């Protein structure tokens, strides 16, 4: 078993003052890795909003998309709306974190309705649909709702697959993203249970896959600090994942990153490297021994949901490109992220550029934010849905010539 041994400031402090060491509590996750010079920094994670944002207060009028695109409020009244997946019948399922709910948005006769189909779960962000069954992955549970599409008004008791998957139960970075791969396996992330710490590189900071029943666990990628978004390239079928970089290393380092996983089991470098940046807290390593990111996505941007666009409604330049939602920073003096970007790829699958696509959530003048875009979902008609966690809303982006 490989162990990452990190020489952290905390460890040095404890060693220097053994009397205090017995009483000093571990540093909470969001403070871990914070240098003494930042001890009084007022930066702290932003509060979630768990109340309904009335539709007239959803900031859709402030949002900006490129020329030729339109954005509208598609669904609302779902506090904490995050990861989205679509059922075979077109139902859009929506996961959450703090409020513990799973929502479903259905359309009939031009009317759209939302309902809560599961509640009282611990951060049920991971959702995936296979053969008409909805998989819900909370921090401590894996549940399968069979035949959910036909039973929306009378949601069935789920089958509990928790013990079969046997996932770690750590709360910190324990929320999941989930997707079925083209190979029929269920892919999940397992984040590192801290900002930066000593951890087991065989059990955490991984992308893993399973058979749908929870058997045959396989490590798809290691050294991925905390990915809560991924998708499979439409032609190469390679797995592409976003990754959240560590906190407290400065306003501009490290950057969040996009990773292309060509072979199962590749090592992408956490805690040692992000690209060519060798984290001084993790010890010296030659970063060339790890798979380099396919792209850097900006410091502290909280890059979460990613989906490749294969529709025909958007102009040809967007076909095969990846939309990436950036929830936005807390560990940076000037806000970063709070937008959806588009990463374009060339024929070899190399990222040729990353540029803003949906903006307006960030109020630069006042260093505040109006919303937090977290996940994207292209639909069969070629439109693109964007979930805004802070406002419990989903927007639809369309294109007209």
Partner 1 sequence: MKPAILAAALLAAAFIVPAGAQAPPEAEQCATCHGAEGRSETPNVPSLAGMPAEFITLQMILFREGLRDAPPMPQFAQGLSDAQIEQIAAFYASLPPGPAPDRGPRDVALAERGAALSARMHCGVCHLPDFRGRAQMPRLAGQREDFLAQTLKEYRDNRRVGTDTQMNAVMYGVSDADIAALAHFLAQRD
Residues of this chain that bind partner 1 (CB under 8 A): 23-31, 39-42, 44-48, 50-52, 79, 98-101, 119-120, 171-172
Between residues 30 and 277, which has the closer beta carbon with respect to partner 1? 30
Q: Which residues of 81-95 are buried (b: 16+ CB within 10 A; e: fewer)?
A: bbbbbbbeeebbbbb
Between residues 176 and 222, which has the closer beta carbon with respect to partner 1? 176
Cα gap 361→355, rounded to integer Å: 16
Q: Contact 94/388 with Cβ under 8 angstroms?
A: no
Find the shortest distance in angstroms from Cβ 392 to partner 1: 10
Between residues 197 and 354, which has the closer beta carbon with respect to partner 1? 197
Q: Contact 136/150 with Cβ under 8 angstroms?
A: no
Find the shortest distance in angstroms from Cβ 49 to partner 1: 8
Between residues 96 and 242, which has the closer beta carbon with respect to partner 1? 96
Find the shortest distance in angstroms from Cβ 100 to partner 1: 5
Cα gap 397→158, rounded to integer Å: 33
For residue 396, what are the CA distances in angstroms to 58, 71, 149, 375? 13, 6, 22, 12
Q: Count the Cβ atoms, other than its own, within 10 Å of residue 264.
A: 13
Give the three-class secondary structure for 108: strand
Find the shortest distance in angstroms from Cβ 353 to partner 1: 35
Between residues 29 and 223, which has the closer beta carbon with respect to partner 1? 29
Question: What is the DSSP secondary-structure string of 183-224?
Answer: TSPEEEEE--SSSS---BTTTSSEEEEE-TTS-S-EEEEES-
Find the shortest distance in angstroms from Cβ 20 to partner 1: 8
Residues in the chain, total: 401
Between residues 42 and 109, which has the closer beta carbon with respect to partner 1? 42
Find the shortest distance in angstroms from Cβ 45 to partner 1: 7
């Amino acid at each position: 078993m490989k162990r990452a041994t990190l020489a952290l400031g905390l460890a040095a402090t404890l060693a220097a003052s053994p009397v205090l060491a017995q009483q000093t509590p571990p540093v909470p996750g969001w403070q871990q890795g914070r240098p003494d010079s930042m001890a009084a920094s007022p930066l702290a994670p932003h509060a979630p909003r768990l109340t309904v944002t009335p539709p007239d207060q959803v900031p859709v009028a402030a949002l900006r998309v490129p020329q030729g695109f339109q954005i509208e409020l598609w669904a609302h009244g779902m506090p904490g709306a995050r990861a989205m997946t679509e059922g075979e019948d077109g139902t859009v399922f929506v996961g959450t974190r703090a409020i513990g709910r799973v929502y479903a948005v259905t359309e009939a006769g031009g009317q759209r309705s939302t309902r809560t189909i599961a509640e009282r779960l611990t951060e049920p962000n991971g959702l995936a649909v296979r053969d008409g069954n909805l998989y819900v992955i909370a921090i401590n549970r894996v549940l399968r709702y069979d035949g959910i599409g036909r039973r929306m008004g009378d949601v069935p008791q789920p089958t509990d697959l928790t013990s079969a998957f046997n996932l770690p139960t750590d709360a910190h970075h324990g929320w999941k993203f989930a997707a079925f791969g083209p190979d029929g396996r269920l892919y999940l992330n397992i984040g590192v249970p801290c900002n930066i710490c000593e951890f087991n590189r065989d059990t955490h900071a991984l992308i893993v896959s399973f058979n749908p029943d929870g058997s045959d666990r396989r490590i798809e990628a290691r050294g991925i600090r905390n990915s809560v978004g991924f998708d499979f390239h439409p032609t190469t079928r390679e797995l592409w994942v976003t990754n959240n970089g560590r906190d407290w290393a400065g306003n501009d380092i490290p950057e969040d990153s996009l990773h292309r996983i060509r072979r199962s089991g590749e090592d992408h470098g956490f805690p040692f490297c992000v690209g060519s940046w060798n984290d001084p807290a993790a010890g010296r390593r030659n970063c060339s021994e790890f798979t380099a990111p396919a792209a850097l996505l900006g410091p502290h941007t909280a890059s979460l949901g990613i989906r490749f666009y294969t529709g025909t409604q958007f102009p040809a330049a967007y076909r095969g490109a990846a939309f990436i939602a950036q929830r936005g920073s807390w560990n940076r003096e000037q806000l970063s992220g709070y937008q959806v970007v588009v990463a374009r790829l060339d024929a070899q699958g190399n990222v040729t550029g990353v540029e803003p696509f949906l903006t307006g959530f960030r109020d630069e003048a006042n260093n505040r934010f109006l919303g937090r875009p977290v996940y994207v979902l292209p639909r069969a008609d070629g439109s693109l849905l964007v979930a805004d966690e802070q406002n419990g809303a989903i927007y639809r982006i369309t294109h007209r010539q």
